[in-house]
Amino acid sequence: MLPAFATIRYEADAVDERDDDCGRVSAPRLRRLAADFEAVRGEFSGHPYVFVSALGPNRPPEAYRVTFRVRGLRLEGNQPVPADHHEVEIQLPLGYPREKPLCTPLTPLFHPNVKDYYCIQDYWAAGQSLVDTIAKIADMIQFKVYNPASPLDALAARWAQQNPQLFPLGNVSLGAPEVEIVLGSRTPLPQSESIVTEGPLPELTEPPGELVGAIGSFDTIVTASGDDLAVVLHRAEKP
């Protein structure tokens, strides 16, 4: 089990009375920033997979650094390899929440919709909270969500299209779980069933004139429960 991160850094400064007449922040935006700040503190303080640090002197903050301990990919040369440490800076622009947050990777990530920034346009809405945005970034890192049809990284998009059986890479969910309520029955819910397949994953089919690697050798564990299907990758032991 991963060790828990420290709680979000927070200084009990007075809320900054910034004024839109000075080109800064309006009262409605301040209320939204304050609500996001409190929600992030409540959701991720002491979280085992996420550490959130508020940036800058202003309270409520307009920028955060988020560290994720979830499974993603990065490139070593031309070879995609597993990576479990990811840092992202999230800036909330003056037009927020009408404008989407700017999410910048501080560590390399191999993903169709990530290059100089995380493309969250497909998932963003003004009613979405900062907690929702952080959870969606975690889903993107784990390849729970990706859109190869509109890529920022064409190489990652082609690789993902050739290897859909590998995804998702991880099963850490940061959003609120759905609760199943069963009334009028004492029948126990069915248990998950696991199917284990050993051996290396299929290699990537390389396009002519371009060298692209696969993830190396893993044991593949496919876990099925109801309509859900999860793929967990474990590095295969050398004989």
The pLDDT assigned to 116 comes to: 97
State the residue for tokens 């759905």. Answer: 178
Q: Please determine, for residue 6, whether its predicted confidence score (pLDDT) is greater than 80.
A: no
pLDDT digits (tens, 9 = 90+) for 44-88: 999 999 999 999 999 999 999 999 999 999 999 989 999 999 999
Burial of 103 (0-12, 13-18, 19+ CB in 10 A): buried
Q: In this predicted structure, what is the pLDDT of residue 30? A: 93
Residue 177: Cβ-neighbour burial (10 angstroms; 0-12, 13-18, 19+): exposed
**Pairwise CA distance, residues 21 & 143, whole Å:** 43
Q: What is the C-alpha to C-alpha distance for residues 96 and 121, in angstroms, rounded to an integer?
A: 14
In the chain, where are the structural domains located? 20-166, 193-235
Closest to 47 (Cα-Cα) out of 55, 56, 39: 39
* Residue 199: C-alpha distances to residues 185, 203, 205 (Å): 42, 12, 18
How far is it, in rounded angstroms, from Cα 55 to Cα 171? 29
Say if CB 72 and CB 111 are below 8 A apart: yes
- Fold (CATH) for 20-166: Ubiquitin Conjugating Enzyme (3.10.110)
- 0.85 cut: is pTM over it? no
115-150 pLDDT, tens digit each: 999 999 888 888 899 999 999 999 999 999 999 999
195 DSSP assignment: E
Quote the pLDDT of residue 123. Answer: 84
8-state DSSP, 221: E
CA distances from 45 to 39, 50, 63, 69, 135 (A): 10, 9, 17, 14, 14
